A and B are shown apart, each in its own frame.
Chain A
């Protein structure tokens, strides 16, 4: 059984560009949540996908968008990158979308915006 994987590991972009980050959920999991972690801060919830539909969103602008595919892998897209988007982006998968379903995190993608 493989855990949660994310790609790429590191990424450097310039302001105004667009980026796509990818997450493969753990086997048997149908829910993926995305988090942004700025340096020195705790992770902040971006949104969650449950069975291919957005199932909740944190306080992030619409230029943060996502997708979940039939195999339950997911993408996070960020348009019009800003310097403050530099962060560690984490995805977490869980067996379902509920408080009793443990979320397991991937290793993260480090995004640097110049």
Chain B
């Protein structure tokens, strides 16, 4: 089972910041938080990841709470092209170094014109 909880859907006005929340209350100290998004029928696109500190790249910012039990993905100026399903994932290291990604249901983000 996925170790994260996300709202099933969210709306955001074009040009505004989209803030996507994610709960991962059972995260352990060496597990990373990753965000991917998937535009209809395409492969998931990597957005950003972090361990403890807040992270920023050209696509988004990732804010992780101090207790690491939740995080927020911020798209600073949402455009219609940001309409997608956003997956928050905790990376679980398995036996023999296998590195499966366990996807939950994600948040369907609608950007409204």
Contact = CB atoms under 8 A, between A and B. Distances in A.
Interface string A73-113: 00000000000000010101010011111111111101000
A42 B105 contact: yes
B101 interface: yes
Nearest to B103: A42
Given A56-B96, A99-B93, A105 B44 contact: yes
Contacts of A103: 46, 99, 101
A33 B97 contact: no
Contacts of B98: 48, 55-57, 97
A63 B21 CA distance: 38
Nearest to A55: B98
Interface of A: 4, 31, 33, 35, 41-45, 48, 50, 55-58, 88, 90, 92, 94, 97-108, 110
* 7 A-B pairs with least C-beta separation: A56-B98, A42-B103, A105-B43, A45-B100, A99-B91, A105-B44, A97-B97
